[in-house]
Every structure is written in C-alpha cells, then in structure tokens.
Structure 1
Amino acid sequence: MTKKIFLFAFLILGFTSIAQKALKIGFVDLEYILENIPEYMEAQSKINAKAISWQNDIEKQQKEIEALKVDLTNEKALLTKALIEEKEEDIQIKELDLKNLQIAHFGTNGDLFFLRQQLVKPVQDIVYNAIQDIAKKRRFDFVMDKSSSLLMLYTNKEFDISELVLNSIIRSKKIDAIKEKQDLKENAVENEKDDAAEINADNKADALQEKIDDRETKKEALKKKIEDQKAEKLRQREAQKKAIEEKRQQRIIEIEAAKKAQQEKKENN
C-alpha cells in the first residue's frame, strides 16, 4: 500500500514539473468499459473455456503421475532394482512432459498468451484508440486507469471519461454496421444491375436469335414455295404435253379410220 501511495505521489510530482500550466488529468475504468463490450466478454469466455480445458488436461496427467508413484511405492518391495529404475525414469519423463505442456499452454509465450493476443488485443486496441481520441479532443494531458494497480486516492467524476469512451465505441460500431449495411445494399444494387444487364444482354441475344431463326424460317418457306411452284408448273407442263399427245394420237386414229373407210368404200364400188 505504501509503495502504491509513493508511486502515485511521485507521478503527480513528476507531472507537475513537466509544465508550468495546470495539468488536465482524466481517468477511465478499463474494467468497466471492457465488461460492457460484448466482443470482449465473448473473447474472455472463449479464453476461459480453453484455459479450463488445458488445466483439466494437465490435472488429469498429474493424477496419472501420482497414481504411478503410488503404484511404484506399493510394488517397490516386489520389484528388482532395474525395474524400479525403469519405472522411476518413466515417471520422470512424464513429469518433464507435463512441465513442458504447462509451459506450452500457460508460459510467457504460450498458447494462452497468443490466444489473448488474437481475441482480446483487437478489442483493447479499439478501446485505447477511443481513449486517445477523446483525450485529444478534450485536451487531457494524462488519462489514468482507476481499475489498474495504481492507487487512486480521489477521483472527480467530472474527469471520468469511461462513459464517453464506451459511447464512442458503441457509436463507431453502429456507424460501421450502417456502413456495412450500405455497402451490402450497394453491392446488391450493383449485382442487380449486373444481373439486369446480363438479362438484357441475354434478351437481346435471344431476340437476335429469334430474328435469325425467323429469317431462316421465312427463307426456307420461300424456298419451299418456289420449289412447289416449279413443281406445279412442271406438272402442268407435263399434263399439257400429255393432253397434246393424246389429241395427236386421237387425230392419228381418226385419220387412219377415215383412210380405212375410204379404202373400203373404193373396194365395195
């Protein structure tokens, strides 16, 4: 406690000596701010769940090692020296593995540290940026965290910017959400335009194809009509030729009959 009071007094004296003007000092309650940010609480829940899982795994292995030690103690009188040394070596290896596992999960640069960096630091950065922004706008020389280990003997709520920071973060999130919504809407409009343009292009292509198909159909119909007309004319010509030939043959028959009749008449006379 004495050290904290001394540290706080030293900081105040140091701040006073920095400039001749009166210093404007604000403070925040980082713990309060973070607890009111859903993303931070969600990150903390994930971290706690992971830490509990790792700790349970460590405790399980610790119990297994303790059980091996108990078994060795109970069986020691029945084992040879070589077997005892072998089992003791196995236990030492397991203890070393357990120690390495503890360091890997909870060490200075362990899994827990990197998990905090991954999940919590982005939220903390947002908070720190909001604090800096408000501090600059309100011309604070220093902003302290009253939830930290630094002892705050007295705080005036007038200089507590915790709510301002929290509201700034919430407002920024709303603005980002609106912007994201607008971007999605604009993208949707652009996609609709693209779809409409694509549909229009498809419709034009279909219309053009229909014209081509219609032209081909008409062309085929005209070709068939011409061929039918030619066939009809040919049929009529053949019919005329046949009729003329029939008349000619009939005329020949009539002439032959007339000649025959005259010949018979002469013979009868």
Structure 2
Amino acid sequence: MTFFVNRVKKLHLTFAAVALAAASFFAPSAQAQAPLKIGFTSVEYVLSQMPESKQIESDLKAYGTQLESQMKAKQTAFQTKLDDYQKRGGAMTPVVKADTEKELQTMQQGLQEFGQTAQQSLQQKQQALLRPVLDKIQKNIDAVANEQGYTYILNSDSGSNPILLHGPKDGDVSDAILKKMGITPTAPTAAPTVQAPRAAAPIVPAAPAGKTKTKSK
C-alpha cells in the first residue's frame, strides 16, 4: 500500500511564494520620493534555476523515503498481527481475543498518528531547507530593486499574495535577480516530484474490541 502522494512538483514553492511576496511588496521603499516604479518576478522560476534547489529536492526525497520505510514497517507489523487474528480468532479465549483486538486498534491508531506526524515533519524539514535560499533570493531582490529604482517588486507566481495579473515584459526582473547571484538563466523545466507522507487507513479488525461474544459450533 502506498502512503505517499505527489507533493512538491513546484518544489515547495507555495511556501516560498507566500514568504517572499509579502516581504517584497510591503517592504518600506528607500525611494519614497522617486516616481513609482513597479517590477515583478517569479519566485518559482528563480528558485528552480538555483543550484541549491536540486540539493533541497534530493534531501527532501531522501527524508520522504525514510518516512515511507518507517510507515511500511508499521503497516507490515499491523497486517501480520491482523492476519494472525483472522486465522486464529475463533480459537482464542475471550480474554485473549479482547486483548488482541485492543492491540490491533492501538496499532491502527498509531499508524494514523504516524502518517499525520510524518506530514508535519516533512513540512518542517522543507521549510528549514528553504529558509536560507529564500533569504538569499530576498537579498538579491532588494539589491536589484535598489539598483534599478523599483519602488515595489511583486511576485507573479499563481497562488501567491499579491498576484500579478498583468505587467510589461520589461518589468520582469527575474533574470536580473539570477544574474545578480551569478546564475545564467536557462529555459524553465518542470520540477521533478518529491513524495510526502499522508495518513493511511489500515484494515480494521472484523470485531470491535471487547464487544463481541464468540459462538461455539
């Protein structure tokens, strides 16, 4: 059973876009008296061009694989216990049967809780890896804005806030930001996927714990 879903096609850029959009748009301008000049950039595009993005993706994939292995081990242990219960349940004494059902339910709950915790853990890992890169992008956005006289720089990625609905091509400073970091812009490519954990719903015992009486034939 698979416990992982495609999560980071955009290389965790929802977080990145939101984190930088507000900072770039609402930051106080040192050129308050100068004519208003607004530019825009795609944080997703800039991040995808940075060499750090591949390492982040690799680290997240490795971490996700580790979580998946732990989940599968727990699922296997649960399934083994459940199979044994289904085969021998009829021959168990009421006390043993009730204890086994209780143990199965505890294991099932543990699986669900692990899935939820794993999701949170991967998100925290993702944010920790992204933070230095986002800081680097922000620093270079500020530098380009100051050098080229931009009052505001918006984020053009969809789903971010604010969203740029229209703008002139010469207002796009994405390549200027990359060049400021010493990166030669290339054609954007689809980001490889990274898998993230989610809670699974394992099979439950056929009989509720401590409620069913066994019938002798």
Question: Which residue, out of 123, 145, 150, partners 1:140?
Answer: 150
Distance, in Å, in 2 between the alignment partners of 1:123 and 1:113 is 16
Between the aligned partners of 1:55 and 1:22, the Cα distance in structure 2 is 54
Change (3 A) 1:90 1:24: same
Distance 1:144 1:56, change over 3 A: farther
Q: Who is 2:77 aligned against?
A: 64
Q: Provide the residue aligned with 1:51 in structure 2.
A: 64
Contact 1:44 1:120 in 2 (8 A): no
Higher relative contact order (CA 8 A, sep 6+): 2
CA positional deviation for 1:148: 3.8
Deviation track 1:139-173 (CA, whole Å, cap 9, x = no partner) reads 323322222404543332211111011111127xx
Question: Helix, strand or coil for the counterpart of 1:170?
Answer: coil
What amino acid maps onto 2:53 in structure 1? Y
TM-superposed CA distance for 1:136, in Å, is 2.6
1:200-251 Cα deviation digits (max 9, x unpaired)? xxxxxxxxxxxxxxxxxxxxxxxxxxxxxxxxxxxxxxxxxxxxxxxxxxxx
Where structure 2 has 5 or more consecutive residues not aligned to the other structure, the ranges are 1-25, 27-31, 184-217
Where in structure 2 are the equivalents of 1:1-269 lying within 5 Å? 23-107=36-120, 110=121, 112-150=122-160, 151-170=163-182
> Number of matched residues?
151
Between the aligned partners of 1:106 and 1:159, the Cα distance in structure 2 is 38
Letter in 1 for 2:175: E
8 Å Cα contact 1:30-1:145 kept in structure 2: yes
Structure 2 CA distance for aligned equivalents of residues 91 and 97 of structure 1: 10
Report deviation, 1:22: 7.0
**For each residue in 1:110-147, what CA deviation from the matched residue of structure 2 results, as whole angstroms up to 9, or x when unmatched?**
3x244234422111110111112212332323322222
Query: What is the CA distance between 1:62 and its match in structure 2?
Result: 2.2
Post-superposition offset of 1:98 = 2.8
TM-score (norm 2): 0.59
**1:23 CA drift (Å):** 4.2
Unaligned runs of 5+ in 1: 1-14, 172-269
For 1:136, the aligned partner's letter is N
Provide the rounded CA distance (Å) in 1 between the counterparts of 2:182 and 2:103: 56
What do residues 53-100 of structure 1 show as CA deviations (whole Å, max 9, x unaligned)? 212321332243234334323332222221121112222232333344
- Give, in whole Å, the separation in 1 of the partners of 2:134 and 2:179: 15
Equivalents in 2 of 1:27, 1:71: separation in Å?
A: 61
Letter in 1 for 2:105: Q
Percent identity, please.
Answer: 23
- Work out the CA distance in 1 between the residues paired with 2:168 and 2:87: 66
Q: Distance in 1 between matches of 2:104 and 2:165?
A: 53
Structure with the higher fraction of residues in helix conformation:
1
Tell me the SS of whatever aligns to 1:26. Answer: strand
CA distance in 2, matches of 1:59, 1:154: 47
